[in-house]
Amino acid sequence: VYSMALKGITVLELAGLAPVPFCGMILADFGAEVIRIDRVIPGVLSNDAFDRGKKSIAIDIKKGKDLLLKMIESADVLLDPFRPGLLESIGLGPDVCLSRNPRLVYARLSGFGQTGPLSKVAGHDINYLSLSGLLSRLGRKGEKPMFPHNLVSDFAGGTLLCAFGILSCLLERATSGRGQVVDASMVDGTMYFGHFIFNKLGAPLLGDKPRGENLLDGGSPFYGTYETKDGKFMAVGAIEPQFYAKMIQGLGLDAETLPAQMDRDQWPALTKLFETTFKSKTRAEWRAIFDGTDACVTPVLELDEVAREPNTKQRNLMMTQTDPAPAPLLSRTPALRLTPDRVGEVAGTSTRFILRDRFKLLTDSEIDVLASRGVVLCTDAPQSK
């Protein structure tokens, strides 16, 4: 038994789409008590990919505004997943909530931020990525820009920087005793996340050519992926000369007959040579050559292969076939693993427990009255008499 890094922190997460639930899950994994405020819809598992470690209470936040405000009075963090202005319109904006609890960290995660001409406009990861400027730099030469799933804006620029903002506010609060508002925008976060690309725009090799013609964007032959004889792929990241030399050696090529690594004019020819060479062996055969070397050549694993990978097993990186372990690993207060008691709850599973026992706000009979009026939804049983 050990203490958790975020033990004693209570988070109220208003149910929303993936970036906010993932933020709540990160906080829960590292020890925070996370209570998901679900909609009053029977049988709903709000976002089962990110619900582990959370208790669920179902409240109609319009009808049950006063109830939610009472919970906010003793919470540390409120997670707002809605478009700017929605919570203000029902009397749950930052001014109201912080007047009830001046220590509250009111975290708002949205696409375009709380201000500006796009603040109330709909969008998704690809839209935020496009407006950040980064999408224009992602993709192959001569092809349209290609987005890496919805990872960059939703989860890197959005979730992770929102979580960092929350933790920063909690740390500062220890000194000031005051909470504050976190305005986490996925566009803002994506741009910040892309600092390196902005900074290297115009830099030799890294950003002085159009998309797909630079060192790290698929333009160089030693930073990319190659198909193998069996239709699988290997990833190559042999940038430094010493790593490049080991890759050339592993490929069985004669370095003396090849053009200089950084001769940009010869990159297309080298790419074709590497393509032909990699197709001469299976992925397993290339692994036998490159595994354990400093050639920076690795297999492109399918998702269902990851759990069987030796590094994954040794570091215990998968809790189930579909649940990667929390990261990073803390030496004294590591994150919680997935256990049966941390599986996500259906909406309203803990409504009675939270109102009656956790916050001590209502009795069973009072909860029953609110349930009959559609203010709350309960799927847990009243206390036996």
Short-list 108, 135, 106, CA closest to 119:
108
Backbone angles phi, psi at 77, to 5 degrees: -140, 140
Q: Is 213 left (phi over 0), alpha (psi -120 to 50) or beta?
A: alpha
- What is the rounded end-to-end Cα distance, in angstroms, of the chain? 34
Residue of 124, 230, 291, 323 with catalytic role: 124
C-alpha torsion angle, residues 57, 61, 66, 72 (rounded to 10)? 60
Q: Which helix (H) or strand (E) holds 314?
A: helix 310-314
Provide the token pair at 127.
């839209």
The count of C-alpha atoms lying within 13 angstroms of the C-alpha of 2, restricted to the half-sphere facing its C-beta, is: 12
Confirm whether 51 is a catalytic residue: no
Residue of 154, 183, 188, 217 with catalytic role: 154
Burial class, 360, CB count within 10 angstroms (exposed 0-12 / middle 13-18 / buried 19+): exposed
Integer-rounded Cα radius of gyration of the chain: 25
CA 128, 133, 136, 139 torsion-angle sign? negative
Q: Is 235 helix (H, G, I), strand (E, B) or coil?
A: strand
Q: Is 233 helix (H, G, I), strand (E, B) or coil?
A: strand
Confirm whether 149 is a catalytic residue: no
> Could you count the other beta carbons within 10 Å of the beta carbon of residue 204?
12
Q: Hey, what amino acid is at 366? A: E
Provide the token pair at 137.
């730099």
Angstrom distances, CA of residue 351 to CA of 259, 367, 375 = 68, 9, 11
Catalytic residue numbers, as ranges:
124, 154
